Structure formats: C-alpha cells, structure tokens
Amino acid sequence: MPKYVFVTGGVVSGLGKGIAAAAIGVLLEAKGLRVTIQKLDPYINVDPGTLSPFEHGEVYVTDDGCETDLDLGHYERFTHVKTSIVNNYTTGRIYNNVITKERRGDYLGNTVQVVPHITDEIKDAIKSAATGEYDIVLVEIGGTVGDIESLPFLEAIRRFRYDVGKENVVYVHLTLVPFIKAAGELKSKPTQHSVNELREIGIQPDILLCRADRQLSSDVKRKIAIHCNLDPDAVIAAMDAETVYEVPLFFKEEGLHKLLRKKLGLTKGEPDLSVWENVVNRIKKPAHEVSIALVGKYVGLKDAYKSLSEALIHGGIANNTRVNFHWVDSEDIESKGAETFLSEVDGVLVPGGFGSRGIEGKIEAVRYAREKKIPFFGICLGMQVAVIEFGRNVCGLGANSTEFEVNAKDPVIYLMEKWYNHRSGKIEERTKDSQMGGTMRLGAYPCTLKEGSHAFQAYHLKEIRERHRHRYEFNNKYRGVLTKNGIEISGLSPDGELVEIVEIKDHPWFLGCQFHPEFQSKPIEPHPLFTAFIAASLKEKRELFK
C-alpha cells in the first residue's frame, strides 16, 4: 500500500502549493521512492479547457489528451511523474460522476448527499491516482482552508486517514508568516488562525510550511509550534526563492525529508540533489544573457504562458544563459509597429492562443523577425501565423486562417473536415454541434522529422511524440506554392497528411511547430527545440558584436 501526503493551503491563495508539492516530490524521488502527484481543484468547471487564460492561467495538456490545471506542469517539470486524466479532478467532474451514477440508479434509490456520496467519490478519485507501483501519492488540495468550495475535499481527506491507517498519511499545511515592516517583526497569528480552521474540520497538520520573505528564528518556530500543537522541528520555513528550482534545496536544508521519513516510516538515507544544485547554479550564475520577446495576447497574466516561460529558462540552463523576457502584447504591435518592441531583442517567440484579437500584431512580429533575420520560434498558433505571413508577404497570396476569416481567399490554415479523435481512437467528422474540447487535436501524437533540418539537428531523432491542443491545421492545398517560395516542411505526421513543423531555408533559425513542446521540458532535461532556439539567439547576438 502506498503512503499519502496531502498538501493544503491557508491564509491567502497563491502561496505556491503546487511548487511545494512538486518540491516534496523531488525530495522523495531523490531517496529512490516512486512518486505520483494529484491535484484536486474546487472549481465547478469539469476541466479548465474552456476557462479564459486571464481567469486561470494556462491549460496544461497531458499525453492522453486531458486538459488540466497548470500545477500539473509543475509536477512534471520537477519530478519524473507522467500525469494523465487521473491526476486532476475538479468539483465539477466529481459532481458530474455522482449525478451520472444517480441517474443510472447506482445508489438504489438512496438520497444522494455530500457526505458520504461526494466525499466517497473524492476518495475514489484519490485512489485512482494510486493505481500503479507507487510508494508515495502526493495530493494537493486547491483553494484555501476556510473557503466553502474546499470543504468536501477536506472532509474526504480527513476520513481518508481512517481508511488507510494513520501511519500511511501525512498532512502538510502551507501558510503565510508575513513581516510587518512597521512592527519590525514576523507575525504568526495568520498561521495560527489557519491551523485552527483546519483543526475545526478535524485535521491536525503534521507539518507546517511557513511562507516568509526571510528565515524564521527558532523563537518564531517555537511560538508557532506551541499554538499549532506541533513539535518545533515540524515548522518548516518556506522562504522566497530566487528561482523555484531552489525550493527543494531549501526544504532539504530545513530537514523536511527527515520529517517525512519519520512520520511515514520511510527508510533512512539522504536525498541526492546534486543535479538540482547544478541547475540552480546555472540559473543564478550564467555565463551569457539573451533577450527574448514573447509576443502574445495574454501577457497581462504571466501564468497564461507558465510552461512556455519555464521552457525558455530551461533552454537557457542548457546553454548556461540567463533568459531576459520582453513581454509584448500583440495588440500594441498593431498600434505602434514591431520595430518599437523588437528592435533590441535577440529572439522572437510567438505562442499559441485562440481567437482573432491581436492576430495582425503577431503576423507583423513574424514578418519583422523573418526580414531582420532574428531567430524565430512559433508555437501552435505561432506556427499558423508564420504560414499566413509567408503566404501574404512572400507568395503574394490573400492568406489567412478560416478561424479569423471564414471566407478567406487563400485559407492556408483551415478547419479539417475529418480529424483523429485521440480519446476515441477513430477518424471522425467535425460537426457544428461538436463540443468545444471534442473538436480539438489533444494529447501526444507522433511526428516524423526531415533529416538535415533545424528540427532534426535539435532532436537527433527521426520520430518524436509531442502534445497538441488546437483545432485548425495547415492546408495541404498550399504546400506546393509555399515550399516553392522557401518554406521547408520539416515535420509531418507518419502518414504525411498533417504538417507539424515548418522552417524557412534562407534564415539563421526560423521554426514553427503545430504542437506544444513546452509541455515536455524540464530543468534537468531541457526540451531540444528550446535549447536550439536559445543557442541560435546567442549565436546571432555574438555575431552582432563581432
């Protein structure tokens, strides 16, 4: 039977439960344990697939095509966990499952209630993540203790300890210990109140992670321990870090691994974090710097591009380089021109997105990068606008996507009438009444690379598998005219029908991919395309100053 670690949060949202859970996963994996991580989210949406990026940040996509919370990205970046549909449950999905069972008659006429039916469904969801040869199941509870939305999840994990045995469960609670400048001291009262709320529910935390902007003195730890019914060594400082990849090192220094070992009855042994020490050293003491412009339409909320910005940092780690971000709103380019924002950068990246807003700004950014020979990387929609720009300004076409102009003269990007449904495993017809998520190409698909291309030189592989989240595709009717004028199709689906990667031959480094490579990048295993993009940006910068 696996052991369970439940991570909750209090005082305020945004303290970093996802990072904390992922860092705990690092410590446990570094001890040789097999770990998986799950996120339970209190919002009523069945999944975040239809949520605005401004509302909830990016939608993270798993190999099996599940649209999930962005914290699953943290889990995969920090650990060796491969997440799937069982690693993320929402209130909406839990209730949907229960209502479906009730309509089917599974409850045999019983009155369906939050306790025990909803809580039992939550417990079953937790157990579903434990299917496999795992030693530890980490479960992050979304929201903040005291919020009404989180109560069923907290009740479920309270009962869970009785189901599997108290020796198999540890409760970790993340709180805030603010420094009040006027008083000149750290205040423990918010933490005390948060723990009291948790204890009123029936959960006594075993470990406290205290977010603070400075180290906690032994006196502060002792005070917190007394009021929260804990030993002082169970109060762990979770200090602000220069980089999130330093958090596992902080936790080890605080002795969190020893606490987990003692409370879960794990074997002795120090976790080896030398690879993380190397990662942190490269981030904090880089040999080089580059400036990358990220031209998007959701730049008002950086979490909308969380995996993307992290993958760029990973590409910098691989090149011993600090990546300086220039967040550029594509609508600003439409009003002020690309020169205003892109003249001083070493590379340009245009990410994915949906809808027509800001599209012309993205197209103009592509044109600027192409004409000025600045290394360019287009991802998903970024690849599509690169094709549109090339079609218009090099091939002389009235190029557009049918997403933005239904009756486009030259629909170089269009909605395919037939598509492969990852979930059903079948070729299906698109219909007007198809559900939003049901019409997208979601999850991991294979791609065959052309030897000698930038893509092949980056991967050093003939076939790759990458994750997708899009609805529109490259229109094969325009392959001839585009390739004749200089587009190189360097990545195709194995059957040759779907264009996955395009490049421009007469350019230092210009690549667009239909998939989202950022979802498979890690600090200890930087993605090949991001590594190559940063390397190309560095090269261009060096040549500029020769």
Write out 90-153 in H/E/C secondary structure: EHHHHHHHHHHHHHHCCCCCCCCCHHHHHHHHHHHHHHHHCCCCCCEEEEEECCCCCCHHHHHH
What's the CATH code, domain 287-413+476-487+499-544?
3.40.50.880
Q: Any idea which of 24-38, 179-193, 198-212, 304-318 has the lowest mean pLDDT?
A: 179-193
Is pLDDT at 546 greater than 50 in this prediction? no
- Residues 59/309, Cβ–Cβ less than 8 Å: no
Q: Any idea which of 279-283, 335-339, 426-430 has the lowest mean pLDDT?
A: 426-430
Give the pTM: 0.92
Residue 436 is predicted with a pLDDT of: 43
Residue 423 is predicted with a pLDDT of: 53
Residue 422 is predicted with a pLDDT of: 52
Q: Any idea which of 45-59, 282-296, 388-402, 464-478 has the lowest mean pLDDT?
A: 45-59
pLDDT band at 289 (very low <50, low <70, confident <90, very high): very high
Is pLDDT at 159 greater than 70 in this prediction? yes
The rounded distance, in Å, linking the Cα atoms of 537 and 376 is: 9
Residue 302 is predicted with a pLDDT of: 83
pLDDT band at 181 (very low <50, low <70, confident <90, very high): confident
Q: Span 13-34, mean pLDDT? A: 94
pLDDT band at 433 (very low <50, low <70, confident <90, very high): very low
Beta strand pairing call for 347-350 and 376-379: parallel
Residue 507 is predicted with a pLDDT of: 95
Residue 364 is predicted with a pLDDT of: 96
The token pair that represents 5 in the structure block: 């670690």
> What percentage of the chain exceeds 70 in pLDDT?
95
CA distances from 494 to 290, 374, 449, 501 (A): 35, 31, 9, 13
Q: Give the tens place of pLDDT for each residue, 460-475.
A: 999 999 999 999 999 9
Residue 49 is predicted with a pLDDT of: 81
Is pLDDT at 328 greater than 70 in this prediction? yes
Q: Span 382-402, mean pLDDT? A: 96
Q: Give the tens place of pLDDT for each residue, 492-508.
A: 999 999 999 999 989 99
Residue 419 is predicted with a pLDDT of: 57
Q: Give the tens place of pLDDT for each residue, 216-231.
A: 999 999 999 999 999 9
The rounded distance, in Å, linking the Cα atoms of 3 and 40 is: 17
Residues of the chain with CATH 3.40.50.300: 3-278
In whole numbers, what is the pLDDT of the chain averaged over residues?
92
- Half-sphere exposure of residue 438, counting CA atoms within 13 Å on the CB side? 11
Rg of the chain over Cα atoms, rounded to whole angstroms, equals 25
Residue 541 is predicted with a pLDDT of: 65
- Half-sphere exposure of residue 214, counting CA atoms within 13 Å on the CB side? 11
513-440-92 Cα angle (round to 5): 125
Residue 438 is predicted with a pLDDT of: 53
- Residues 2/137, Cβ–Cβ less than 8 Å: yes
- Residues 191/10, Cβ–Cβ less than 8 Å: yes
Is pLDDT at 435 greater than 50 in this prediction? no
Distance of CA 315 to the CA centre of its chain: 16
Is pLDDT at 88 greater than 90 in this prediction? yes
Residue 115 is predicted with a pLDDT of: 94
Q: Span 22-33, mean pLDDT? A: 95
Domain at 3-278, CATH from 3.40.50.300, 3.90.1300.10, 3.20.20.210, 3.60.15.10: 3.40.50.300
Q: Which residues are catalytic?
A: 380, 516, 518
Q: Span 260-281, mean pLDDT? A: 92
The token pair that represents 485 in the structure block: 């004028």
Residues of the chain with CATH 3.40.50.880: 287-413+476-487+499-544
Bridge partner residues of 504 (DSSP): 487
Residue 427 is predicted with a pLDDT of: 59
Q: Span 282-294, mean pLDDT? A: 96
Q: Span 415-440, mean pLDDT? A: 58
> What percentage of the chain exceeds 90 in pLDDT?
81
Is pLDDT at 145 greater than 60 in this prediction? yes
The rounded distance, in Å, linking the Cα atoms of 520 and 82 is: 10
Q: Which amino acid is at 343?
A: S
Q: Span 63-76, mean pLDDT? A: 93
Q: Which tops the pLDDT comparison, 55 or 114?
A: 114
Q: Which amino acid is at 154?
A: L
The rounded distance, in Å, linking the Cα atoms of 124 and 127 is: 5
Residue 432 is predicted with a pLDDT of: 45
Counts for the chain of helices (H) and strands (E), in that order: 19, 25
Residue 434 is predicted with a pLDDT of: 41
Q: Any idea which of 15-29, 145-159, 417-431 has the lowest mean pLDDT?
A: 417-431
Is pLDDT at 270 greater than 90 in this prediction? no
